[in-house]
Structure 1
Amino acid sequence: MMTEAKKCWKLTECVAHTPGSVTCLSLGQLTGSILATGGDDKMVKLWVVGRTSCIMSLAGHTASVESLRFNSKEDKLAAGSLSGVIKIWDLNEAKLMRSLSSHKAAVSCLDLHPFGDFAVSGCADGSAKLWDIRRKGCIYTYKGHTEPLTCVKFSPDGRWVVTAGQDSVIKIWDLEAGKIQAEFVELSAGATDLSFHPSVLLMAAAFQDKTVRFLDLELFQSIGSTLETDMPTPPRRIAFNPDGNSVYASCGDTLKIINVEPTALLETVPVGWGRLTLADLVVSARHNQLIGAGFAHSSVVTYVVDVKSCAPYVTPAPAQAAAVLSPPDKDRPTTTSGRKSFNQPEPNLVPKTKTSKKKAALAGGAGAASVDEESSEMQIHDPEAYNDIFAPKRALRRSPSPPSSSSGAGAGASRPAHAFAAAAAKPFTPPTKESPTKPPDGDQRRAAPEPASPPPQPEPRQQPPQPSPPQQQPPPTRDRARSREHRAEAAAAAVTPTPRNNGGAPAAVSVSVSDFLPQQQQPPQQPAESDEDLVSKFRHPHQSFMSVIGARERHLRRVRSMWSADTVKTAVDCALLIQDSAVLIDLLNVLTANQSLWTLDISAALLPAIRDLFNSKHASYVETGATAALLVLRQFSTLIKSTLSAHGLSPGVDLSREDRAQRCRVCYDCLMQISSALASPDTLSKAGQTGRELKMFLLQLQL
């Protein structure tokens, strides 16, 4: 009888700061594989989630560290102290970027802009400040709260700053105008945490009155709330599921799973983190796992919850089924129906009337502090782990690697600028006590499949066949038919998409070629196989093929359900998340046939995956990637070149310009790497005439 899958388990527990205690903690929101801790020993330490050894220590604060926050790329870290000083480190370069001091009290919360060089900080005196990291100045001070702030966050599109405090008020500030956009004042308690919906104008807020409320950011009103009886204690941290249909809330010793629309409690998962001060939650979309991290005294503890084994992915209780499950054939889930998306671009993001005021504030450099290299020491304790996580790809390959170094240099060259080679590529597995024949921990972690997929059966080991004379070719034996049956069953069980390998091309699920090739024969030692064995020999490869096609059909249906006239970008993100080259090729064929659907945002999202197609062994994949890259060049080459040439020359704060420049930089870097790939005669021959035309266009793009 099959045992029920384990829903949650403790991952690690270690002493982080001694002497002294841990005061704050933050998880990287991109992958959930990096962790930062701050203590009253005035130190900031970095850890790999799942390990108990510190990889880096950051010194420089003169008071206890009270707040921490990674940026969206996890290559920068901001830390606020009890004295009101904020320090921002560049983790790729292993150096202190900025030291900002203007607060009169402790920095209680922080956030970094999703794409610009800006930061926002909340203070214990009720004020919040917007900082320009590049120019080392305070741009604006947001006032109006009467109690200490508990949470400050940028909206996903970078337009708004949301502040929440203990005074039972949530304020939304317009970043460009520098004034309040809206506020929620009819709240019965102070907020403990905020979380934005991944795609639409919706926000979840946790409150001290033991409720979680959902706030519509288009109409600026509350649309739903949990009951006070649903939670025994106030929720500490909340996080949206990547699909946006549910919210996870840490409450006492449990994790509460809440449906968004209609608002309803789906499931309560007992985790066991009640003794901790739970400081952060991250949902890893790649592995369908939730990572929770908390601290108690000088110790830091991490927990893992298998999201796929919880509601709404498993069948809920009958009383809740009608309110939770939605028909699979709907174009969009109910959460997003009728709501605008954060990703919709609008022109004139920064009013010109505010430029002079911001320029004056920046010129003054209010709150700026010089970076003293000696006063901020960075000590790397684990160089190997640091290089795996933070070391960027500093050089762009202009020619293919020589054959002698393909195994080493090729792997390093294909790694992205931010590659979690050791931590983010594998899901966390629960501890086991049985199986005396289980492999060592390292092998078990390497061989662990995704939580929602059953493990494939190992192929039985066989003796190598004896060479036979060329004139003797009897039919295959019964034992070989059975071995092929085992091999076909293993192929059918392993048709789930595999994660991307260090930024390279996604490993496409394919049929085993050996199932279709004639097998080497042995001299006749047993009677010939029967008709049933012959039928079985042809049937099992077909079943494996149908399993692959069935998985591909499910993926395409999933992308199609996200596709509508206004949500092409959402469908593109869904296809990239699946990480199946065949699905990506089908999507590119549709987009290249409808050139009007392309935008700079879609190009920046697709070009990293298109770049990886040039490493494929399939000529059709390379040719499709070349066609898509050529289409991007024809439509956006002038915009990319002019934007990057003029970037940094105009004064003032223009978020739309910063966003456009970032996307143009992503497109330019990917196109230059495609140009390097086309320098290989083998790749150029696979790309055909389109590749040669693309190579000529790329020569004109170089700055």
Structure 2
Amino acid sequence: MATPVVTKTAWKLQEIVAHASNVSSLVLGKASGRLLATGGDDCRVNLWSINKPNCIMSLTGHTSPVESVRLNTPEELIVAGSQSGSIRVWDLEAAKILRTLMGHKANICSLDFHPYGEFVASGSQDTNIKLWDIRRKGCVFRYRGHSQAVRCLRFSPDGKWLASAADDHTVKLWDLTAGKMMSDFPGHTGPVNVVEFHPNEYLLASGSSDRTIRFWDLEKFQVVSCIEGEPGPVRSVLFNPDGCCLYSGCQDSLRVYGWEPERCFDVVLVNWGKVADLAICNDQLIGVAFSQSNVSSYVVDLTRVTRTGTVAQDPVQDSRPLTEQPPNPSAPLRRIYERPSTTCSKPQRVKHNSESERRSPSSEDDKDDRESRAEIQNAEDYNEIFQPKNSISRTPPRRSEPFPAPPEDDTTTVKEAAKPSLAMDVQCPMPNLEGPAQPPVLTSTPTPKSELAIIPATRNEPIGLKASDFLPAVKIPQQAELVDEDAMSQIRKGHDTMCVVLTSRHKNLDTVRAVWTTSDIKTSVDSAVAINDLSVVVDLLNIVNQKASLWKLDLCTTVLPQIEKLLQSKYESYVQTGCTSLKLILQRFLPLITDILAAPPSVGVDISREERLHKCRLCYKQLKSISGLIKSKSSLSGRHGSAFRELHLLMAALD
């Protein structure tokens, strides 16, 4: 008698390299759970079909990193916001730019499409929330109330309200028709990263970096319950489609919660790291996470997950007995959203009829539209998902079969082993050229987890090449099986060079250490600078930064030029060390420098005072040189952006 095959509850589906540089944002299509959009530091938005290796479409036009992306409910439109504050909307079916929206003064941190109307909401680091009419390319309302960056926006299911979450620890609810705030929900003690409306009832969930999830009653405008003890900051939550429970994507698990009373129904171990978005389709939950340029997708079989009724064995427990649950969990405890019976059509371009409109300043936006492109990279997958508008039957197979799970006792992950086709980034038309043939897709075969293939990204090619220059690159040569000697020689490539570099660095550090033991710290730093190796300077500064008493004014005159080099380095650790050292100098010596320079000249000869004045003038000159660099980098996002903004505030005394 054959033993029945038991499948896993959760498994890793795929890992791809989504961009040529770091991925900065991603989102799943909520209708299908199969469409993935990624935004990167390469200023592109790429479209992917989950569990397929090739990029479907690449959207260009942004000139700064893409900080936020969002798909509309039918998955026909996508909106992307950049670090510069610009917003672009693309029509995915027509494969073209639809709108360019300008108005924010800082990073776009959050976006959402209105569920029925032709509107987009945007939240920015400038603390403003804007509602855009994408038919007329204009801002309808601006909502002010947050004091820090707006991290998440969500429209209510009936389209009447907008919920916002921000770094100021608050959640706010806005009335769209009245254009004002309805309620403010305080209570979180850390930045609020995500908000989500219940699909049916007047209930709102919010997740924060304070490791709590709070549920808010939207009739009484008060907290319903609070889930505490999350393993880390809450970044992604999602209600089950029928509203029976809430899913939370934690660092290494999926947690299933109820809220009246608050309790954890189940915990599923999923090693997905910082999961960025969740979607549900065919009783499967799809989770996606990104790290540097890689994007990974995971699947959880919800038929094997407890979603109501019983309590999982987990530390996040409620002491109240199950008898306190509502007698009929399916019966709503609150008011139900009333949805319109019809939906609005997709926005079309508005023709300018009047002379005043033709002369309006929107010509700059039109230029941005012309420079924004939607390049189809994989026609076969594109046609499968976005059938052309002139098709007789427009029924794209977005609700495909569930993803198959690997066997429970198998440590392999089933995935497609095809190599992606090389994307062609050509900004001019290519006449009389057929699209490159797609590479053959190999049969899906089990691959050991330790050898999980990473699918290379679509790469940016230089502009101006002939189309024929790209064609040879898409050919996939048959890779012969490597013998052991060849494999070892490939593994050793680059090791000799690295060993030489590390040996040289070790020798230089020994030289500095010898000086350190015989002389003062100033002489040691001078010797490190004379070696002309920034890595040695970084190692030395990391030691000096641990003890503020080692810093002297004459040390600053030597270190400041090196700090300027570190702040412009491409290495993250160099930038971090430079920021730390500069912060110590500003906090310890800037008041002294400004006081000495502002003091009246002394009467008589005072050599020590003259030397101190000379050092202060030199430090002031060096700090002024660095201040311009700090100001230009203070608009960056992420950890370094906040560090540069803090330094910019500290350097205000220079003016």
Paired residue secondary structure (1:52): coil
Cα distance in structure 2, aligned partners of 1:65 and 1:224: 35
Q: Distance in 1 between matches of 2:339 and 2:272?
A: 39
* Amino acid of the structure 2 residue aligned with 1:17: H
Give 1:266-305 correspondences, 5 Å limit.
Answer: 266-274=265-273, 277-284=274-281, 287-305=282-300
Amino acid in the other structure paired with 2:300? V
Q: Residue 26 of structure 1 aligns with which residue?
A: 27
1:636-675 equivalence runs, <5 A: none
Task: Tell me the residue number matched to 2:244.
Answer: 245
Residue 261 of structure 1 deviates from its aligned partner by 2.0
Shift of 1:298: 0.7
Cross-structure match for 1:429: 404
Do the aligned partners of 1:38 and 1:67 also contact (CA within 8 Å) in 2?
yes
Distance 1:232 1:46 in 2: 31
Write the letter of the residue equivalent to 2:26: L
Give the deviation of 1:374 after TM superposition. 3.9
Distance 1:374 1:333, change over 3 A: same
Matched, 1:132 2:126: no
SS in 1 for 2:371: coil
Q: How does 1:80-91 map to 2 (within 5 A)?
A: 80-91=81-92
- The alpha carbon displacement at 1:177 in A equals 1.0
The residue that corresponds to 1:260 in the other structure is: 259
Aligned ranges for residues 157-236 of structure 1 at < 5 Å? 157-228=158-229, 231-236=230-235
Residue 112 of structure 2: aligned partner: 111
Cα distance change of structure 1 residues 24 and 324 upon mapping to structure 2, 3 Å threshold: farther
Per-residue deviation, 1:21: 0.9
* Letter aligned with residue 235 of structure 1: V
- Is residue 118–residue 132 contact of structure 1 (8 Å, CA) maintained in 2? yes
User: What amino acid is aligned across from residue 118 of structure 2 in structure 1?
Assistant: D
Q: Contact between 2:46 and 2:55, CA under 8 Å: does it hold in 1?
A: yes
Query: Which residue of 357, 377, 383 corresponds with 1:381?
Result: 377
Amino acid of the structure 1 residue aligned with 2:8: K
1:141 paired residue number: 142
Q: Which residue is 1:369 aligned to?
A: 365
Aligned residue pairs: how many?
A: 395
Instruction: Provide the C-alpha distance between the structure 2 equivalents of 1:36 and 1:324, rounded to a whole number of angstroms.
Output: 44
Partner Cα distance (1:393, 1:344) in 2? 27
The reply on whether 1:7 has 2:3 as its aligned counterpart is no
Q: Distance in 2 between matches of 1:386 and 1:100?
A: 26
- Return the alpha-carbon distance in structure 1 between the equivalents of residues 10 and 367 of structure 2: 43
Distance in 1, matches of 2:359 and 2:125, equals: 25
**TM-score (normalised: structure 2):** 0.56
- Corresponding letter in the other structure for 1:381: Q
Following TM superposition, by how much is the alpha carbon of 1:292 offset from its aligned partner in structure 2, in angstroms?
0.5
Aligned to 2:330: 333
Larger Cα Rg: Structure 1 or Structure 2? Answer: 2
Partners of 1:163 and 1:223 lie apart in 2 by 18
1:394 aligns with 2:393: no
2:603 is aligned to none
> What is the rounded CA distance, in whole Å, between the counterparts of 2:408 and 2:183 in structure 1?
54
In structure 2, the residue matched to 1:310 is 305
User: Distance between the aligned counterparts of 2:359 and 2:157, measured in 1?
Assistant: 29
| Contact 1:233/1:251 (<8 A) preserved | yes
In 2, the alpha carbon distance for the partners of 1:363 and 1:372 equals: 16
CA distance in 1, matches of 2:321, 2:415: 45
* Separation of aligned partners in 2, 1:344 and 1:112: 16
- What displacement does 1:101 show? 0.7
Secondary structure of the corresponding residue to residue 199 of structure 1: coil
Aligned partners of 1:181 and 1:170: how far apart in 2? 11
1:190 is displaced (CA, Å) by 2.2
Deviation (angstroms), 1:394: 2.9
What's the Cα RMSD here? 3.1
Alpha-carbon contact 1:308-1:314 (below 8 Å) kept:
no
Measure the CA separation in 2 of the matches of 1:322 and 1:31. 38
Matched residues in 2 for 1:80 and 1:64: separation? 9
Asked if structure 1 preserves the Cα contact closer than 8 Å seen for 2:261 and 2:324, the reply is no
Percent identity for Structure 1 against Structure 2? 40
Report the equivalent of 1:78: 79
Note the C-alpha offset of 1:344: 5.7
For the structure 1 residues 178 and 317, does the alpha-carbon distance in structure 2 shift closer, same or farther, using more than 3 Å as the test? closer
Following the alignment from structure 2 to structure 1, what is the Cα–Cα distance between the partners of residues 322 and 151?
A: 33
The alpha carbon displacement at 1:187 in A equals: 3.0
| Aligned-residue offset at 1:220 | 0.8
Call closer, same or farther: CA 1:314–1:56 in 2, change over 3 Å. farther
For residues 327 and 265 of structure 1, do their structure 2 counterparts lie closer, same or farther at Cα, with a shift above 3 Å needed? closer
TM-superposed deviation, 1:390: 1.1
3-state SS of paired residue (1:369):
helix
Q: Give the conservation status (yes or no) of the 8 Å contact 1:205–1:214.
A: yes
Matched-pair contact (CA < 8 Å) for 2:199–2:243? yes
Distance in 1 between the 2:375 and 2:197 partners? 35
Distance 1:371 1:425, change over 3 A: farther
Q: Distance in 2 between matches of 1:97 and 1:204?
A: 32
Task: Report the alpha carbon displacement of residue 366 of structure 1 after superposing the two structures with TM.
Answer: 9.1
Q: How many Å separate the matches in 1 of 2:190 and 2:399?
A: 38
For 1:296 and 1:110, the matched residues in 2 are separated by 21
Deviations 1:94-133 (A, max 9, x none): 1100000101001011011111111110001211111110
Partner Cα separation in structure 2 for residue 168 and residue 327 of structure 1: 31
Q: What are the Cα deviations for residues 223-281 of structure 1, in whole angstroms up to 9, with x where unaligned?
A: 011123xx22122100001111110001111111101322101122110012xx32211
Residues 137 and 364 in structure 1, CA contact (< 8 A), matched pair in contact too: no
Q: Counterpart of 1:114 in structure 2: which amino acid?
A: P
The whole-number CA distance in structure 2 between the counterparts of 1:227 and 1:364 is 56
Corresponding residue of 1:50: 51
C-alpha separation in 1, matches of 2:340 and 2:48: 37
Q: Deviations over 1:316-343 (max 9, x none)?
A: 5599896399799x4x615x22x11112
Whole-Å separation in 1 of the counterparts to 2:15 and 2:385: 21
Amino acid of the structure 1 residue aligned with 2:265: L
User: 1:370 deviation in Å?
Assistant: 1.9
Q: Is the 8 A contact 2:122 2:129 kept in 1?
A: yes
Paired residue secondary structure (1:370): helix
C-alpha separation between the residues in 2 aligned to 1:95 and 1:21?
25
* Matches for 1:405-420 after TM superposition, within 5 Å: 413-416=392-395, 419=396
Q: 2:402 corresponds to which letter in structure 1?
A: P
Per the alignment, residue 19 of structure 2 pairs with 17
Q: Distance in 2 between matches of 1:104 and 1:270?
A: 41
Distance in 1 (alpha carbons) for counterparts of 2:7 and 2:27: 29
Give the whole-Å Cα distance in 2 for the aligned partners of 1:80 and 1:44: 10
The equivalent of 2:574 in structure 1 is: none
Amino acid at match of 1:296: S
Cα deviation, residue 425, structure 1? 1.5
Counterpart Cα distance in 1 of 2:359 and 2:160 = 24
**Which ranges in structure 2 are unaligned for 5 or more consecutive residues?**
342-356, 417-440, 445-655
State the AA in 1 paired with 2:377: H
Q: C-alpha separation between the residues in 2 aligned to 1:282 and 1:132?
A: 27
TM-score by length of 1: 0.53
After superposition, the Cα gap between the structure-2 partners of 1:326 and 1:145, relative to the gap in structure 1 and judged at 3 Å, is closer
In structure 2, how many angstroms separate the alpha carbons of the residues matched to 1:365 and 1:224? 51
Question: Alpha carbons of 1:54 and 1:185: their partners in 2 closer, same or farther (altered >3 Å)?
Answer: same
Is 1:343 equivalent to 2:342 in the alignment?
Answer: no
